[in-house]
Chain A
Amino acid sequence: MAGYLARRAAMLLVTLLVSSFLVFTGVTLAPGDPLATLSGNRSLPPETVAVLRERYHLDDPFLVRYVAWLGDAVRGDLGVSIAQRQDVSDLIASRAGTTAALVLYASAIVVAAGVGFGLLAALRPGIVDSMVVAGTAAAVAVPPFIAAIVLIAVFAVALDWFPAFGTGSGLLGQIRHLTLPAFALAAASTAAVARVTRTAVREELGREHVQTAVSRGISYPAVVRRHALRNAAVPIATLAGMSTASMIALAAVVERVFGLNGLGAYLVNAALSKDIAVVQGICLVLVTAFVLVNTLGDVVAAALDPRITLGRRA
């Protein structure tokens, strides 16, 4: 396990380095003067130009610039937003909470509802199973932004149960405002997790060790919990980790539809207004979160199934 963790950590570092390099190189690859790119072609007073030249080490060679930029980024200095005239790190910090809450809420739905419906379908063959299978088959194909539109049309406009816009105030208000976005974000992943849970639990229930446990007189709920679900947990954990990671990238869509003041919505605005430092900063933060969650999912799967740590995955 220690060796596996060390390998994963090394991979994580390399991945983050390459991703940061990709984020950084973009500015150099873009056509035209990097300063013009960084300022989004705004005309700037000479003293600002001098500050920017200094800040981005534009007079230094490429690799020196990258190392300097990365060093600043690691220390939490992501540059200045040209449009807002504020530190990118501060702008990100004030919005990261909304995105984190949204993704956490959504992944809680994915795990609870996904495993719940999957178990229900696996243990109740017949009409319940068919309904879950049909429902998840439809839901798995609906991407978050279409789910968001449907949820707004039904639960915000037609029924008026939940607000369609904004972040809300107070803990309860915020939860209420985040409910529809979280469900929109979670819908497709929930369906996928439910399907995997159903298949995995069914498969385990048909195995000999489960039959043995039943014939030994262990109560059925205990067999399901300790034998079937325990063994089915590996693919479920892997998929839930991947789903959570992908929701970090897709949160932007939902945030924009519901007018949430999160990182993703801000990233879209920054991309539209060519506020490059902000785009770089948010991309860096989101990719880091994406890679971390992916790694975490793999580690959880490895903890659940010791065979993985011995496997060939380098």
Chain B
Amino acid sequence: MSAIGTAVRPGAGPGTRWRGRLGPLGVVAAAIVVAAIVLAILGPTLTPHDPNASDLSRAFAPPEAGHPLGYDGQGRDLLSRLLAGARTSLIGPLAVVALAVTAGTAVAVAAVWAGGWVDSLVSAVLEVVFAFPGVLLAMLVAALFGAGLQAAVLALSVAYLPYTARLLRSAALTEREKPYIRALEVQGASGMTICLRHLVPNLAPLIAVQATLFFGYAMVDLAIISFFGLGVRPPSPDWGVMIAGGQSGVLQGYPAESLLAGACIVVLVVAVNILGERLGGTGATGGRGGRLRWPRRWGARS
């Protein structure tokens, strides 16, 4: 990324450095996340069968040649539905994370930069808004504005905003007190420049960790909302919808659809969390892999 960044650790190639940071478990997690992203992009084109084509005579039929995971309760190919569902299941959480973390960063940095009563007011408001659980807000929004993925994504972003903003605010506060910010101010850099080109880039590692953490929450919450029938609408394949759709099968002794869709969610969430933890070095696993540090390049880029 920058000359300073590589100069800090001479001798270590980028590959070994990343692997050292991640550890074996982290590498597995990274592989799962990359695979999920590829699936989300290619998934709908990779499906061996039409995910919506149903053959009721084959309802709950066990795996057979060409259908390695068998069929769901409506005689649709399970593997195709899981693959096609990857996209909707990933886009929602990604959108939530992008909205909540971007807005949270903006609110946090603006509040810290303004300081004084603006900061106090923002903190007080965040403290209070903190109290509204995301899933409840999403249900309220779905009832008022109509069910759908967009409404759910917006509701969750609003519900997560206080969490991201609060965490980033305290980090921005410590960062703002550092001498390089003062130095830039003395040099006459505008507040906007300092915030966007120095303060936010230096918060980037924390922002990245936040993003992975909230991706996991958003994935589960969105799956819950789709499970209720208030998010992604049933015929289109989505992991949350599949868990709900497979529920009658569970009671009849065919739990494959619900369990496989649930497993996809759990595995992906765990992988993303491990990755975030390893990259951020939150220390929950004993600090193995170390901390990811962005180079401090104050002054160098102005």
A interface residues with partner B (beta carbon < 8 Å): 11, 14-15, 18-19, 22-23, 26-27, 29-31, 37, 141-143, 145-146, 149-150, 152-153, 156-158, 164-165, 246, 248-250, 252-253, 256-257, 267-268, 270-272, 274-276, 279-280, 283, 286-287, 290-291, 294
CB <8 Å contact, A272 and B229: yes
CB <8 Å contact, A22 and B132: yes
CB <8 Å contact, A153 and B250: yes
CB <8 Å contact, B143 and A149: no
Query: Per a CB cutoff under 8 Å, which of A22, A146, A250 touches B266?
Result: A146
> How far, in whole Å, are A29 and B141 apart by their CA atoms in the complex?
10
For B252, give the chain A residue with the smallest CB separation: A157
The distance from the CB of A245 to the nearest CB of chain B, in whole angstroms, is 8
CB <8 Å contact, B273 and A152: no
Chain B: interface secondary structure?
Answer: helix
Chain A: interface secondary structure?
Answer: helix
CB <8 Å contact, A287 and B228: no
A-contact bits for B136-173, CB 8 A (1 contact / 0 none): 11011111110100000000000000000000000000
CB <8 Å contact, B253 and A30: no
Residues of chain A within 8 A (CB-CB) of B262 are: 142, 145-146, 149-150
CB <8 Å contact, A157 and B251: yes
The distance from the CB of A4 to the nearest CB of chain B, in whole angstroms, is 15
> How far, in whole Å, are A294 and B220 apart by their CA atoms in the complex?
22
The distance from the CB of B44 to the nearest CB of chain A, in whole angstroms, is 24
Number of interchain pairs (Cβ within 8 Å): 128
Contact flag A256-B250 (CB < 8 Å), given A143-B220, A146-B243, A283-B136: no
The distance from the CB of B157 to the nearest CB of chain A, in whole angstroms, is 15
Query: Per a CB cutoff under 8 Å, which of B134, B145, B250 touches A152?
Result: B250
> How far, in whole Å, are A149 and B240 apart by their CA atoms in the complex?
12
The distance from the CB of A62 to the nearest CB of chain B, in whole angstroms, is 16
CB <8 Å contact, A14 and B144: no
Question: Could you tell me which residues of chain B, from 1 to 18, have a CB within 8 Å of some CB in chain A?
Answer: none
Stretch at the interface among B49-57, B79-87, B123-131: B123-131
CB <8 Å contact, B132 and A271: no
The distance from the CB of A17 to the nearest CB of chain B, in whole angstroms, is 9
Residues of chain A within 8 A (CB-CB) of B223 are: 143, 145
Query: Per a CB cutoff under 8 Å, which of B143, B227, B266 touches A142?
Result: B266
